[in-house]
Amino acid sequence: MPASAVASTRGARCLSAAQVAHDARRFAEWSFHQAFIEDVDWSDIPERFMPWIQNIFAVDGQLPKMWKDQKYLLKQSVQFQKFMFNVCSKDPDLFAKEGTNMEDETTEKFHDNITTVINIWNRLHDLRKSGRHVTYSDYSGIFQQLCSVAIVQSDLRPNCMIALPAPIEPIPVTSSLSDSAKKLKCSASIFIPSKHIGELSSSAKSPYKQLNAHPSIMEKRSGIKPPFWLQVTPLWNPIPPSSFEFASCFMHGSRASQEEARRLTKMATTAALRQLRSLCISSPVYGLAWHETRVTADIAWCTDFSNKFPKIHSTSYKNAATKSWDISKQKDILRVFLILRNIDRWTVNQFHDEICRGVGTMRDRVMAGEEKITPWRVATGAVSSRKRACPSSDAEDDVEAADRPKRKRSAAFLLQSGRGRKRRAK
């Protein structure tokens, strides 16, 4: 077979993350090669993680009880009054009970945040009532605004390019996934701020400096294994010299369906968990998916830490009444905001503690010769060298790519490139 034909065949097989998530069978194959098991039972969540996860979604009683008092509301804006009247009638559990001690929910800053959420809901309401077609970008903008209000302590990174993990199980050359799906652009990601984990990388005796200089790490630099500075971050193309970077939550939307958006967040959480596992960090990672105004949440975690390549489990949040939220409803946009706010707080507290504990443990084990860091991703350079053989791997990064129609080549273009003459000769 001619070399051009081989390149064409390989190029046809190369799929982006969006294209993998768009097809249920492709995603199932991808999950198999990543040892990813989705939609397990809620009871399968490790007992140690359960209090954290329950606190993330426990948003009942987080609004001050005075906000449903008529005398108080009469002193507020008309928009605030109408919004709270609706929430109180549809979801009274959001308000604190009598005798409950609130922390800072009565402060002016929290009131201002809720007012901003109300303004976001009003913009969404006006957008849907305007009569024009509401695009994917419109919904994405609304969700980004909601995230920016809720995420104040952590590092919110919009449109962040995440490196997907290398397969645990070898992918056959004949598979449609061969040489595909190396990165994913997330709509938004929540990272722990660098200032909170600076002690892990800055000093000469820090875990990063000691691990980076260890002989077991140095050996891999002469081979095809990715360098250490690529293994300590989920980012696709960080700027070296790097430092530790960790993500606690990924958010993604899809113009096609809710399930496609969920698959994309699952791919991102799998990458984060593989990175955490390689550094001996045990923690859940969250994924929020949205399609138009519907939002769902998934929780993923590693199991069987004694195994070199542990399985990754995932389950969706659902209780007796809630499987998803519709942010076109006042009560639901408040719940999503409060959940994001809880994830923000958890990231800089419990998640931070698990990172410091895990990285310290890994440093001690590596220095004692008891363990080696297992590479979880492919080297960025290795992918770049295959661009000609796999042209679609970088061209189709966006979530909209799966729905983008293919452009037809004009007859003039074909004649100019010589393809038209070849076809005529045949």
3-state secondary structure of 2: coil
Nearest in space to 279 (alpha carbons), one of 218, 154, 210, 366: 366
Average pLDDT over residues 389-398: 45
- Run of H or E residues at 121: helix 108-129
Nearest in space to 236 (alpha carbons), one of 184, 285, 179: 184
- On the question of pLDDT at 319 being above 70, the answer is no
Nearest in space to 244 (alpha carbons), one of 215, 208, 294: 208
Per-residue model confidence (pLDDT) at position 80: 96
DSSP state of 232: T
Alpha-carbon distance of 136 to 196, in angstroms, equals: 34
Is 108 exposed, middle or buried, given 0-12, 13-18 or 19+ CB atoms closer than 10 A?
exposed
Per-residue model confidence (pLDDT) at position 381: 46
Of residues 321 and 84, more confidently modeled: 84
Q: Which amino acid is at 298?
A: D
Per-residue model confidence (pLDDT) at position 99: 55
Is 244 exposed, middle or buried, given 0-12, 13-18 or 19+ CB atoms closer than 10 A?
buried
Question: Greatest CA span in the chain, whole angstroms?
Answer: 87
Contact assessment for residue 329 and residue 118, using Cβ atoms and an 8 Å cutoff: no
User: To the nearest whole percent, how much of the chain has pLDDT over 70?
Assistant: 77
Contact assessment for residue 118 and residue 75, using Cβ atoms and an 8 Å cutoff: no
In this structure, the strands spanning 183-191 and 294-302 are unpaired
Per-residue model confidence (pLDDT) at position 131: 87
Average pLDDT over residues 116-141: 95
Give the side-chain half-sphere CA count within 13 A for 193. 12
pLDDT in tens, 163-180: 999 888 666 655 666 566
User: To the nearest whole percent, how much of the chain has pLDDT over 90?
Assistant: 58
Of residues 341 and 39, more confidently modeled: 341
Per-residue model confidence (pLDDT) at position 100: 58
| DSSP per-residue codes, 59-76 | -TT-B-GGGG-HHHHTTS
Per-residue model confidence (pLDDT) at position 230: 87
Contact assessment for residue 150 and residue 340, using Cβ atoms and an 8 Å cutoff: yes
Alpha-carbon distance of 140 to 146, in angstroms, equals: 10
pLDDT in tens, 210-249: 998 888 775 554 444 678 888 999 999 887 667 899 999 9
3-state secondary structure of 47: coil
- On the question of pLDDT at 382 being above 80, the answer is no
Average pLDDT over residues 99-124: 82
Per-residue model confidence (pLDDT) at position 104: 53
User: How much of the chain is in helix, strand and coil states, percent to nearest 5?
Assistant: 50, 15, 40
In angstroms, the Cα distances linking 338 to 4, 94, 150 are 54, 10, 7
Per-residue model confidence (pLDDT) at position 193: 96
3-state secondary structure of 186: strand
Average pLDDT over residues 367-374: 86
- The chain-wide mean pLDDT, for the chain, equals 83
- On the question of pLDDT at 410 being above 60, the answer is no
In this structure, the strands spanning 285-291 and 325-326 are unpaired
Contact assessment for residue 247 and residue 141, using Cβ atoms and an 8 Å cutoff: no
- Tell whether omega for the bond before 241 is within 30 degrees of 0, i.e. cis: yes
- Run of H or E residues at 264: helix 258-278
Binned at pLDDT 50, 70 and 90, residue 387 comes out as very low
Within 8 A by CB and 6+ apart from 59, the residues are: 94, 335, 338, 339, 342
What does the block give as tokens for 160? Answer: 């962040």
- On the question of pLDDT at 3 being above 80, the answer is no
Alpha-carbon distance of 267 to 20, in angstroms, equals: 10
pTM of the model: 0.85
Alpha-carbon distance of 383 to 7, in angstroms, equals: 15
Per-residue model confidence (pLDDT) at position 416: 55
Alpha-carbon distance of 123 to 117, in angstroms, equals: 10
- On the question of pLDDT at 144 being above 60, the answer is yes
- On the question of pLDDT at 414 being above 60, the answer is no
Nearest in space to 286 (alpha carbons), one of 341, 336, 249: 249
Of residues 7 and 328, more confidently modeled: 328
